[in-house]
Structures are given as structure tokens and as C-alpha cells.
Amino acid sequence: MTRSKFLILSVLSLVAVAVVSVQWGPRSDAAAPEDAEAEAAVQLTVAMVEPERIVLASEYSGRVAAGRRVEIRPQVGGLILERHVEEGTRVSAGDVLFRIDPAPLKADLAVAEAALARALTAEAHARRAAERSDSLLATNTVSLQANEAAHNELELAKAGVAEARTAVERKRLDLDFATLRTPIDGYVAAGLAEIGGLVSVGGDTALAVVQDLETVNVDLRLPEGDLDAVLTAAEDGLGAVTIHKHRGASDPLTGTLKSSDVIVDQGTGYVSVRIEAANPGLALLPGMFVRASLPYGVIEDALLVPEDAVLRTSTGGAQLAIVSVGGEAARRDVELGARVGNRVVVASGLKPGEIVAIRGQNRVPAGASVTAETRSPDATPTDTQS
């Protein structure tokens, strides 16, 4: 081997050693931060789970109806002369809504009163005839048959007076019916009859509709299987029904179960239920779509955790990150129950007083325990607690 070839081989050997040093040297230096990070405690926000009494409720959709609804219809025919309300007006029981032209009714009343006067005159005449016949019968001046005929005429005259008096009362009622009043407190709905309209008894259209909106009904449809539990809860007084105008509304109204149908729809298997609720400020209007939450059961010592605290496994199971007294965090399989607001009942796998991670729980690896650094939900997060 010549000197030149030897020098070339020596240079190549030195280059190879330098490359190996570059590749291996930094790896040992980088391993230290990774190991330190792996050994650092997992930071979690935790809360202690304590048993509490909760009322279970199911939510159903329904429609609002007025507490009472009255259609104002005429009991006598005629021309509408006056209208004293406008659409949307609030009225009290006894307030005048319409007046129908009373002139024809007054004329009918006058005719009836004249007939009554005639009947009274006939009665007086028959009474005098009967009294004269009685005096003549005492002296045998008139026959018994004639006396009986006189008394029969008197009885017929009395019947005529009674009939005429009844006719007068009826005509007076008709005259009173010319003034239409509301029988309830409420609000006048749209669709009022106009002045000058000709109305008749038995017409298809009401002159006005008055609805009591201070109290409203909410009509729901429940599955047949839910009815017994809802009725039992209402009888036991587990809680009021809450009514929301839309999902998540912060100002629900409260109501009570008023009635339920006794017939199940054969086609759908649903049954109708009515809820009664006070309606301050007219928050609910007839026809409005709402959601009502009905109690159906109670759990005396329920363990609840936020829904966000629940971890899901690849098979669809539920897990919680439990922190021990010694500060070790590990995942645990649990079974979940009913949902209550933004929390969920833990049916099994959790004990009262245990500490559950409610934030950061996804940092706890499956199948292993890790050291945890915990804080309460009210603690102010720092830059290291991300």
C-alpha cells in the first residue's frame, strides 16, 4: 500500500468517527428533558363527590292554550250598533262588548206587555162573573152547571195571564241580550265583528273571543310507559313542573299537573296530559311551542359529576379519573345513570367522598396510575397549569 492510499484511508476513518460522535452526542442530552417531563406530575382540577337528593325529570314538548276561552255569540238577531272593545284589549267580567239594535226588541216587548194587560182584564172579568154566579147559586137562581162554567172561564183567564206574563219576561230577556257582555276576565282576541254587521242566532262565526291568559294550560303528549311515574310523582309532591319557552331558557315558569287523558292513542301509544301554570307578564301565549320538564322519580343519595368529566373508551364505556389521598390519579370504569342538567348520575363505580378530576382528566393515561397535582375548581390557573 502506497503512502498516498494510507493517508486517504486515515482521513476517511476520522470523518466516520466524527459523524458517529455528532449523532450520538445530542441524543443523550435530549433524553433528559423528556424524562423530566414524563416524571412531572399531571395537573388536574378536581372536586369531591358528595351524595345529594335529586328529583329526576323528563322533558316533553307541548303547546300553550288559554286557561279559559269564551266565544261571544248573539242570543238575539239584529244589527250591531256599538262595539266597545278593540283587539288585544283586557276586559273584566261584565264589561260591555257589543250592543245590538234594541228597537225591534223593544217593540216585541211592548206587544207582549199589551197582551199581558189584555189577559189581566180578561181574568178580572172572569173573576167577577164567577163571584156573581156563586151568589146566584146560593139563591138557586143559576144552575150548578152554569156556575161550574163560570169558574172554568176564570181558570182559563188565569192561565192566559201566566202565559202572557211569561212572554213579557222572555221579551225582556231578549232586550237584555241585545247588550253582549264578557262572562270572564281576559283579553280580546283578533277577529272582532264590525259595527253595522247583521248577526243572527246560531251563526258560524263568533262576534268575539275572550281568553283568560293570567293562567294558561300546556298540553303535552307522553309515551304510555311514562304516565304512571309522572302521575305518581305528582301525587307524592316531588316537585313542580318547569316550563321553558325554548331549550336552555334561564327564566322557566312553574306549573302543576292538572289532568291526563284516560285514552291512549292506538296509533302512537301516546297519552295527553295538561299542565296548568300561572302566566305573569303574559310570558306564554296561546299556540306557543314550549318544553315542559315533569318529575318522575327521586334518588336520595345520588352521586353526580359534570358531563365533561366523563371519559369515553373505544368500546363506548364510561370512565372517570379518580385521585387517591396519596395524589395518585387513575382511570376507573363506571356506569352512568340519568342526566340532570349538565351533570350525570354515576350509578356504580364511585363512592361518596372520592375525588374526581373534572378538568385535565384526559392527561391521565389508560391502564396506569400517575402522580397528580390537584387544584380546586375555584383556583386561579397559572401558566404551568395548561
- pLDDT in the model for residue 32: 47
Among 205, 222, 244, the domain-final residue is 205
- pLDDT in the model for residue 95: 96
Closest to 180 in 3D by CA, of 69, 70, 68, 75: 75
Which grid cell sits at 227?
304516565
Are 284 and 228 contained in the same domain? yes
Are 46 and 169 contained in the same domain? no
- Is 17 exposed, middle or buried (CB count within 10 Å of its CB: 0-12, 13-18, 19+)? exposed
- We report the CATH number of the domain holding residue 139 as 1.10.287
Closest to 257 in 3D by CA, of 284, 289, 295, 204: 295
Are 94 and 195 contained in the same domain? yes
Q: Is residue 380 part of a domain?
A: no
Backbone angles phi, psi at 15, to 5 degrees: -65, -40
Q: How far is CA 233 from CA 58, 220, 225, 255, in A?
A: 12, 16, 14, 14
CA angle in degrees (0–180, nearest 5) for 290-228-226:
45
- pLDDT in the model for residue 203: 87
Are 285 and 347 contained in the same domain? no
- pLDDT in the model for residue 248: 55
Are 81 and 161 contained in the same domain? no
Are 275 and 307 contained in the same domain? no
The DSSP line for 150-180 is: HHHHHHHHHHHHHHHHHHHHHHHHHHHHTEE
Task: Give me the residue label for grid cell 397549569.
Answer: 385
Pairing outcome for strands 370-375 and 42-48:
parallel
Task: Give me the residue label for grid cell 288585544.
Answer: 88
Q: Is residue 20 part of a domain?
A: no
Closest to 353 in 3D by CA, of 320, 324, 318, 321: 324
Are 224 and 151 contained in the same domain? no
In contact, 249 and 241? CB cutoff 8 Å = no
Q: How far is CA 293 from CA 223, 228, 253, 254, 340, in A?
A: 14, 15, 10, 10, 11
**Cα(47)–Cα(305) distance, integer angstroms:** 9
Instruction: Using a pLDDT cut of 70, give the percent of the chain over it.
Output: 87
Are 234 and 121 contained in the same domain? no
Q: Is residue 88 part of a domain?
A: yes
Provide the number of structural domains found in the chain.
4
Are 195 and 238 contained in the same domain? no
Q: Which domain holds residue 371?
A: 42-53+301-375
Q: Where are the alpha helices (DSSP H) in the chain?
A: 3-39, 103-138, 144-177, 224-236
Strand partners, 136: none
Are 196 and 147 contained in the same domain? no
Q: Which amino acid belongs to residue 241?
A: V
Are 232 and 346 contained in the same domain? no
Among 241, 266, 300, the domain-final residue is 300
- We report the CATH number of the domain holding residue 185 as 2.40.50.100
Low-confidence ranges of the chain (pLDDT < 50): 1-38, 382-386
